[in-house]
Amino acid sequence: MIDSLILQQGSGWRAQAEVFDEIFFVFLALGTLVGVVVVAYTLWNAYKYRDDGGEPKDDFDAPVVGELPTGQGGPKAKKLFLSFGLSAIVVISLVVYAYGLLLYVEEGPDTDGEGDIEIVVEGYQFGWDYLYPNGHTETNELVVPADARIDLAVTSRDVWHNFGSSELRFKADSIPGETAHTWFSVSSEEVEAQGGEATFLVECFELCGSGHSAMDGQITVLPQDEWEEWYEGTQTDDEDDDNDTDNDDGNGDEGGD
């Protein structure tokens, strides 16, 4: 599934999913390597130095009850620092490497601003409302164009939710009184590959009440021209949605009771 999401854009953008997959792969490879080496080394030593019932070696200095602890120094302590140093280098270089990519994810791809769209996502028990720049509101299904950078401003009108899509590898906390920002983009190739209309599952990643498990939404990605056509059409049926939003907002401000 992940492999099919080649979201590379013509202008050299990288989607969050791609960045994540790269870092995840590097961490997984190194983590597995380190884990296997350390665990194998531990097991091997545990086996090698098992008590086989034979006579203790000459340099074996058995502890006695009531001694004040001294600990071991010598060559082992040097080895301790060597291993510690090595592990520190691995961990720190991994994180420095990942940090470079974090800056990209935080900023988002550089665009000329044309075609970008910012949508306000408001979580509620148990669904999502999307407010488009033109004032149109959708519930649960987010319809966006391909090949554009979609900026999300995520908030909540009741409790703490988390808006995210595992397939697109983005997530943002949805907190009352706060606005968190994230972005995503889907290439037209991907939309083509899914048959002219790509859909992605949205889930809530923070426990928010009895309906948390089923708090799913959907992102629908249309080719640019189709989306524009759809967006034009939203202007006409605006009024009903606006009324809904007002009512909901009224409910959302009950914190002061």
Partner 1 sequence: MADLPPTTSVRRWLVTTNHKDIGILYTITALFFLLFGGVLALLIRLQLWDPANQVMSGLAYNEAVTAHGLIMVFWFLSPFAFGFANYFVPLQIGADDLAFPRLNALSYWMYLFSGVLLGISFFQGGTLDAGWTMYAPLNVPMYTPSIGSTGAVLALFMFVVGVTASTVNFLTSIHHSRAEGMGLMDMPMFTWSILATVWMMLFAFAALLAVGLILASDRVLGSVYFSATEGGSLLWGHLFWFFGHPEVYIVFFPALGVMLELFQTFSGRRLVGRKWVIISICLISVQSFLVWMHHMFLTTINLEIKTLMMATTIGISLPFDLLVFALIYTLIKGRIQFTTPFLFAFGALLLFILGGITGVFLGAIVLDYEFRGTYWVVAHFHYVMFGGATALFGGAYYWFPKMTGKMYDEFLGKVHFVVFFIGFNAVYFSMFLAWETPRRVYEYNPAFQGMHQAGTIGAFLLGASFFIMFYNFAKSYVSGPDAGDNPWDYSRTAEWAISSPPPLENWPNRPSYASGKLEFVKDYVPDGGPAVKADEDGNAVTDGGDSHSEHIRNYPYWDKHPSHASIWPILLSLATGIMLLGLSGFNNSTEFHFGDSVSQFSVEVLNPVYPTLTVLGLLGLIWAGWKWGAEDFYAPPSEFGERWPFEGVEKVKLGMWFFLASDVIVFGAFISAAVFIRWNAGWMSWEPIPASLPGLINTFVLLTSSFTVILALVAAHRQHRTGLLASIGATMLLGFTFLAVKAWEWWEKIYVDGVYLATVPEGYSAIQASVYFVTTGLHAVHVIGGLLIAMFLFVRAYRGAYMEDGRPVEYFGLYWHFVDIVWVFLFPLFYLF
In the set 11, 134, 135, 213, which binds partner 1 (CB under 8 A)? 213
Chosen residue from 8, 18, 27, 138 binding partner 1 by CB under 8 A? 27
Cα separation, 114 vs 11, in Å, equals 13
If the CB atoms of residues 12 and 75 are measured against partner 1, the closer one turns out to be: 75
Q: Of 164, 169, 167, 217, which is closest to residue 1 (Cα–Cα)? A: 167
Closest approach, Cβ 238 to partner 1, in A, equals 27
DSSP assignment of 239-251 equals: HHHHHHHHHHHHH
Tokens of 190: 């991907």
Indicate which single residue of 34, 127, 140, 245 sits in contact with partner 1 (rule: CB under 8 A).
Answer: 34
**What is the per-residue binding string for partner 1 in 83-112, x denoting contact by CB under 8 A?**
xx--xx--xx-xx--xx-xx--xx------
Positive/negative CA dihedral, 205, 209, 210, 216: negative
Strand 170-174 to strand 161-165: parallel, antiparallel, or no bridges (unpaired)?
antiparallel
CB of 166 to partner 1, least distance (A): 4
Instruction: Count the site residues for partner 1 by CB under 8 A.
Output: 88
Length of the chain equals: 257
Applying CB under 8 A, does 38 fall inside the site for partner 1?
yes
* Concatenated DSSP letters of 130-177: EE-TTS-EEESEEEEETTS-EEEEEEESSS-EEEEETTTTEEEEE-BT
Does position 153 interact with partner 1 (CB under 8 A)? The reply is no
- Nearer Cβ to partner 1 (118/212): 212
Of 156, 138, 168, nearest to 230 (Cα)? 138
**Binding of residue 73 to partner 1 (CB under 8 A):** yes
167-196 positions binding partner 1, by CB under 8 A: 169-173, 175-180
Q: Residue 248 has which token pair? A: 């909901």
C-beta of 108: minimal distance to partner 1 in Å? Answer: 13
Residue 24 in the binding site for partner 1 (CB under 8 A): yes
Tell me if 68 contacts partner 1 by CB under 8 A.
yes
Q: 129 and 161 in contact (C-beta within 8 Å)?
A: no
The nearest distance, CB 236 to partner 1, in angstroms, is 33
Of 10, 12, 65, 246, which one interacts with partner 1 (CB under 8 A)?
A: 65
Pick the closest to residue 145 from 83, 204, 229, 209 (CA basis). 229
User: Which of the residues 216 through 245 are near partner 1 (CB under 8 A)?
Assistant: none
